[in-house]
Amino acid sequence: MLKRNPLVLGNKSLKDVTDDICAPIERVPSKEWMGLFLGAKGLFIFYILTIAMVISTGIGLLGVNHPVAWGTMIITFVFWVGIGHAGTLISAILFLFRQKWRTSVARTAEAMTVFAVATAGIFPLIHTGRPWLDFWLFPYPNQRGPLWVNFRSPLLWDVFAVSTYATVSSVFWIVGMIPDLATVRDRAKNVIRKKIYGALSFGWRGTAKQWSHFEMIYLVLAGLSTPLVLSVHTIVSFDFAVSQLPGWHTTIFPPYFVAGAIFSGFAMVITLMTLVRIGFPQFKNYITIDHMEVMNKIIMMTGLMVGYAYGSEFLIAWYSGNDYERYVFMNRAMGPYAWSYWIMVTCNVLIPQIFWFKKFRRSIPIMFVVSIFVNIGMWFERFVITVTSLHRDFLPSNWGQYAWSIYDTAILVGSFGMFFTIFLLYLRVLPAISIAEVKPVLNVGKEEDEHHGKGH
């Protein structure tokens, strides 16, 4: 029998666990955190101002044009939605599959999901020509006829998919946090703090009945979330796949998008976890190298999957015998945007191959760099899909280039400001590792160890 590594290092007692995890919430923030937070917040404010400019002046400030009518906002939207996938996958699917290693990363991965979806959710709203009328995208009872939405439009499916996903994953995240919030409440020495965490923990007292209910609801929510992991990005991919544009109209898109989403999501989890490990060294005992390695394996596997999709797209384009389809793919690899295609291939397919080597899978600096590359690559994947398909389609007279402007950069960079502002706040005010879930797995590796030893 293979030796199982302990999930929590450092011979932690139950109290240690609580102390370690609650520590960042209960102490004055470090200078480093303050620095990061102010930076992120500055970027966030810059982002808000950019959005205000775009909304007040017109979407024309960005590079979107004729023929490339979707650009940075849609690309970045898909990027952030994709990022969100790892969280739900870890917290829901791995939960259903009883993967115990998920416990220490689930909370933060899921927080990342919620924040990434929030960041993403802004884009479809502000990318429209008249954002103040975005409520028309929702089927609400109205006095305009009543005028109903077009249920045939993938964009509408998108509205439902993303809002459902945002709702369910936030509920799942918040519900999962209730016992931990109660712990923070119980440890609170300050009255206001007690009140706030008291309210957030919904009167949790930790009775057996409550635990029973809690575990049931957690299971149900996990069950609800699981199909969403697959459905959201499937539906996001429909935005493209249901259209009739060569390069978009592809049946491989749903699995390809889901794989890509998980790929990018795990890369972002790695990015964030390496940062968390640096910021809160005591977390190293909970988010161990083993955790990171497991996720790196997933990155490598999903990287191969997207690589397969890239290849398959070319094969099908050739096999279809369709001129337009063939041209689009040749143009991707060799046209004016070939650089973006090759960035994508390099970052998403080639670089993750380094994880075939255990040494690199377990090296924090290497995985950090790789995860950044994957994030870049996955942003470019959406760029390649959106821009290169649109910029040269059927009639050559329509051909054009995306008119990248400074606002595109501002929107892209600014969205990270939003994400990191929320994420950094989260690290400070909510338990970043699930106390209640880590405690039961404290003995995982150890038990087996002892057991193993006894056998001899």
Partner 1 sequence: MNNNENKIQSDNENRKIERDSTYWRSFEELNNTPEFQKSLQTEFMSSPLREESKHEGTEADGVARRDFLKLMGASIALTSAAGCIRRPVQKIVPYNKQPEEVTVGVSNWYTSSYFDGQEGLGLLVKSREGRPVHIQGNPKFPLNGTGASVKAQASLLGLYEPNRLQKPFRNLFNEKRTNKETVGVSWEELDAKVVESLKKGGVAILTGNISSPSTKAVISDFKAGFNADHYAWEPLSDDVASAQATSYGEAVVPGHRYDKAQMIVSIDADFLGTWGPTMTNNKRFADGRRNIDKMSRLVSFDSTYSLTGANADIRFKIKPSQQFDVVMGLIAEIAGKVSVSESVKTAVAPYNGIADKLGISSEAFKKVASDLVKNQGESIVVAGGIQTKTKDSLALQTAVNYLNSILGNDGKTVVAQAGNKNVTASYDQIKNLIKKMNAGDVKTLIIYRSNPFYSTSADLGFAEAIKKVSTVVFAGDKMDETAVNAHFIATDNHALETWGDTEFATGLYGIHQPLIRTMYDTRSFQLSLMTWAFMAKVGPKRIQEFETYYDYVRNLWKTELAAKVGGGKDFDAFWNGFLQDGFVGEVAAGSARTFKGDVASLKKTNSSDSAFELALYPTANIGDGTLANIGWLQELPDVVTKIVWDNYACVSLKTAEANKLREGDVIELTVGGKKLSLPTHIQPGLHDQVVAVAVGYGRTHAGDIAKGVGQNAYTLAQGDLLSGLPVEFKKTGDKIELVTTQGHDSMEGRQIVVTATNKDIEHKKDANIHRHHTWNIWSGHQYNGHKWGMAIDLNTCTGCSACMTACQSENNIHVVGKKYVMQGREMHWIRIDRYYTGDVESASAVFQPLMCQHCDNAPCETVCPVAATVHSSEGLNEMVYNRCVGTRYCSNNCPYKVRRFNWFNYAKLIEKPMHMHLNPEVGVRTRGVMEKCTFCVQRIKEGKNKAKMEERPLKDGDIKVACEAACPTQTIVFGDLNDENSRVAKVFKSEPRAYELLEEWYAKPSVRYQSKIKNNDEVTAKKGADHA
Residues that bind partner 1 (CB under 8 A): 57-60, 63-70, 127-130, 132-134, 136-137, 143, 147-150, 152-156, 159, 239, 242-245, 248, 321-324, 327, 390, 392-401, 403
Computed over its alpha carbons, how large is the radius of gyration of the chain? 23
What is the 3 state secondary structure string of 218-275? HHHHHHHHHHHHHHHHHHHHHHHHCCCCCCCCCCCHHHHHHHHHHHHHHHHHHHHHHH
Q: Which is nearer to partner 1, 71 or 352 (CB)?
A: 71
* C-alpha distances out from residue 345 to 51, 336, 374, 384, Å: 31, 16, 10, 11
Inter-residue contact 313 to 252 (CB < 8 Å)? yes
Residue 107 Cβ, how far from partner 1 at the closest point, in Å?
35
Q: Which is nearer to partner 1, 99 or 398 (CB)?
A: 398
Residue 387 Cβ, how far from partner 1 at the closest point, in Å?
11
Q: Helices (H) and strands (E) in the chain — how many of each?
A: 18, 0
Q: Which is nearer to partner 1, 8 or 387 (CB)?
A: 387
Name the residue with tokens 């490990």. 277
Q: Which is nearer to partner 1, 46 or 324 (CB)?
A: 324
Q: Which is nearer to partner 1, 11 or 243 (CB)?
A: 243
Residue 393 Cβ, how far from partner 1 at the closest point, in Å?
7
CB under 8 Å, gap of 24 or more: what pairs does 277-285 form? 277/364, 279/30, 279/32, 279/33, 279/36, 279/427, 280/23, 280/24, 280/427, 280/432, 282/20, 282/23, 283/20, 283/21, 283/432, 283/433, 284/9, 285/8, 285/9, 285/10, 285/12, 285/20
Residue 205 Cβ, how far from partner 1 at the closest point, in Å?
45
Q: Which is nearer to partner 1, 182 or 241 (CB)?
A: 241
What is the 3 state secondary structure string of 330-364? HHHHHCCCHHHHHHHHHHHHHHHHHHHCHHHHCCH
Residue 414 Cβ, how far from partner 1 at the closest point, in Å?
20
Residue 392 Cβ, how far from partner 1 at the closest point, in Å?
8
Q: Quote the Cα angle for 314-317-318, to 5°.
A: 90
Q: Which is nearer to partner 1, 193 or 326 (CB)?
A: 326
Give the 3-state secondary structure of residue 139. coil
Residue 84 Cβ, how far from partner 1 at the closest point, in Å?
21
Residue 166 Cβ, how far from partner 1 at the closest point, in Å?
18
Q: Which is nearer to partner 1, 62 or 351 (CB)?
A: 62
